[in-house]
Structure 1
Amino acid sequence: MMKATWALGALAAVTLMSGTATAQTKLTWGHVYEVTEPFHTESVWAADEIKKRTDGRYEIAVFPASQLGKEADLNQGLTLGTVDIIISGSSFASREYAPIGVTYYPYIFRNPEHLLAYTKSDVFRKLAAGYEEESGHHIAAVTYYGTRHTTANKDIKTCADLQGVKMRVPDVPAYLAMPRACGANTAPIAFAEVYLALQNGTVEAQENPLTTIEAKKFDEVQKTIALTGHIVDHLNTVISQSRWASLSDEDKQIFTDVMLEAAERATKIVQEREAKLVQTFKDKGLNVVEVDKADFEKNVKEKSPLETYGYNQADYDAIRAVQ
């Protein structure tokens, strides 16, 4: 009788182990950032943490550096089912739901703290819900990417100083708003080719966060960094419609909690790096210039009004009111 009981127990244990193994779900998480950047390291942390908190029921493989395709491919992959989770900018989300692109409109955010307050606001929930209704996909968290500034080989203190300057800008409507309002001649050169384009004079200026300026060594081929601070940039962690629908309420909460924590961790790293870079660039001999932001903002509002991009004034006003 004891042998029979032991055999039944052993069989039950084997069955349980087999059931646990077959219950594990493998997910893919893709993005375009390098393995050294916090958007990758903290995604890997999140994948491990989700595995722990779900007792191994989810195994998430994180693919960096466009291994699963460029950002447009990743967004399409959410719908095609080739990727479960991505990190992507609101400029891509706005292709599905235009109003969410207002978060890239120049000078809408005062600083990173304002952006982070927005992510906890009613207007964020409204815009995220609009995107989810239109695309089916769920925005789980927002990470601060960096504040975009302008580099050039001349002093830039006012909007008029960009008049006629050949400037590389990503081919994204909201990114183009400030340079075009100031009269720059914009060129959508591929990111990988920007250094060479600056070096050989194909373009005379570009705009990116300080962390990107350092990482891509643009400071080697530009003399001036103008602290235009025109866009407080951010990235969304997005879960595909099919994957989000498949999660239990308990697992949805685990995924959300972990992704929010990962976003906070990455944001802190970016902020700490940015805080040191102004002095770093000055020490390298670059001319770091404080600009007349009020002048830039005035020109943007007059010459690149937000309605022309399909954004809503009410959303802009609600975001600006967030404290």
Structure 2
Amino acid sequence: MHTTSKRQFLASAAAMAAGLASPALLRAQPVTIRWGESLATSHPQVQMAERVAKEVKEKSGGRIDIQVFPNSQLGSGKDMIEAVSAGALQMTTDGAGALGAFLPQLSVVEAPFLWRDAAHMAKAAGTPLFAKLNDDLTAKRNMRMLNITYYGKRHLTANKPVRTPADMAGFKLRVPPVDTFRAMAEAWGARATPIAFGELYLALSQGAVDGQENPLPTIQSGKFYEVQKVLVLTEHIITPRMVIVNEAFWKGLKPVDRDILQAALAAGAAWQDKELLSQEAALVGTFKTAGMTIIEPDLAAWRKPVLDKVPAMFAEKWGKGTFESLLAL
């Protein structure tokens, strides 16, 4: 695991960008890849990145060194995506909604109440639509999605019982700084409050927000159960996370190095998907034992106000009929 300060990271950015401008030099020398993450070291996504780093180092005879920086060391998720786009950082992982700030139509992949389960979401990765989204991201933002991973079903946490959207009136719900998440929260009647992930625990502990929403393994690794009393199993979004790489850097790698990295990512993603599904199956009991109140609400009551408003609001941004086509996969 690597640590650095933002100042050190920014100071090295110019040197890194200069290296990207010389693919021949990269091919001739050992390759260092910096991979930034927002999540804690205990989260399977960060553990996946470490597994990928280990496999790539072994398969390349130590020539490719992936350095993983967890815990938002290199800035917020948005900061790191911008750094990948600019070439100052080689890799990061984030959700489709966050990437939608850079390619608006991509946010459909993280739309609320779109996917039935992880297998349904996985089908999208093999569709022409997903390939077109990747091509557009590469052409317009100099970033490529190397893999799509399962991040989990998102649920609500709160400090009071929340059983229906009617209980969300005036509720300050932390959401990521993503427009579709804000629209979903507002469809429930909540006050959408964007806060960076790295600041969320403090915001919950100080009462700056009334609750948040995330998959169970993220609630666990972020220790949000320590500062939230109620878990509401809304399953409102099944979130994909995209592993993205700077396109100029990617083109500068030897084909054999790209193959090594892609094979390790495929194995790492398969491990992460399995690990997250396993954790999800166990964590409700874990949180209950820790003292949280578990609420299993009527999902239709949570689904209806969102589907009545959100897909129509974003039809132009996503492309007319795109949400419906993915829903029908």
TM-score for the superposition, normalised by structure 2: 0.83
Q: Give the 3-state SS of the residue equivalent to 2:228 in structure 1.
A: coil
Please, which of 231, 245, 262 is the counterpart of residue 239 of structure 1? 245
1:64-213 equivalences in 2 (<5 Å): 64-213=70-219
* Matched-pair contact (CA < 8 Å) for 1:148–1:210: yes
Which residue of 315, 318, 322 maps to 2:325? 318
Q: How do residues 295-310 of structure 1 correspond to structure 2 at under 5 angstroms?
A: 295-308=301-314, 310=317
Pair 166,80 (structure 1): closer, same or farther in 2 beyond 3 Å: closer
Q: Does the 8 Å contact 2:311/2:323 carry over to 1?
A: no
Residues 85, 157 of structure 1: alpha-carbon distance in 2 compared, 3 angstrom cutoff: same
User: How far is the alpha carbon of 1:320 from its aligned partner?
Assistant: 1.3
Structure 2 residue matching 1:82: 3-state secondary structure: coil
CA contact (8 A) 2:48 2:268 kept: yes
Q: 1:62 to 1:302 in 2, by over 3 A?
A: same
Over the matched positions of the two proteins, sequence identity in percent amounts to 33
**Contact 2:158/2:229 (8 A) holds in 1:** yes
Q: Cα 1:318–1:116, aligned 2, differ >3 Å: closer, same or farther? A: same
Asked if residue 61 in structure 1 is aligned to residue 67 in structure 2, the reply is yes
Select the structure of larger CA radius of gyration: 1
Deviation, 1:25, is 2.2
Report if aligned partners of 1:42, 1:262 keep a CA contact under 8 Å in 2. yes
- Aligned twin of 2:37: 31
Please tell me the root mean square deviation across aligned C-alpha atoms, in Å.
2.3
Deviation at 1:193, TM superposition (A): 4.5
| Match 2:229 to one of 200, 209, 223 | 223
Letter in 2 for 1:63: F
CA contact (8 A) 1:123 1:319 kept: no
Q: 2: CA distance between counterparts of 1:34 and 1:121? A: 32
Partner of 1:87, secondary structure, is strand
Q: TM-score w.r.t. structure 1 length?
A: 0.84
5+ residue gaps, structure 2, are 1-26
Q: 2:40, 2:221 within 8 Å by CA — same for their partners in 1?
A: no
Distance 1:159 1:77, change over 3 A: same
Unaligned runs of 5+ in 1: 1-20
Shift of 1:259: 1.1
How many residues matched? 302
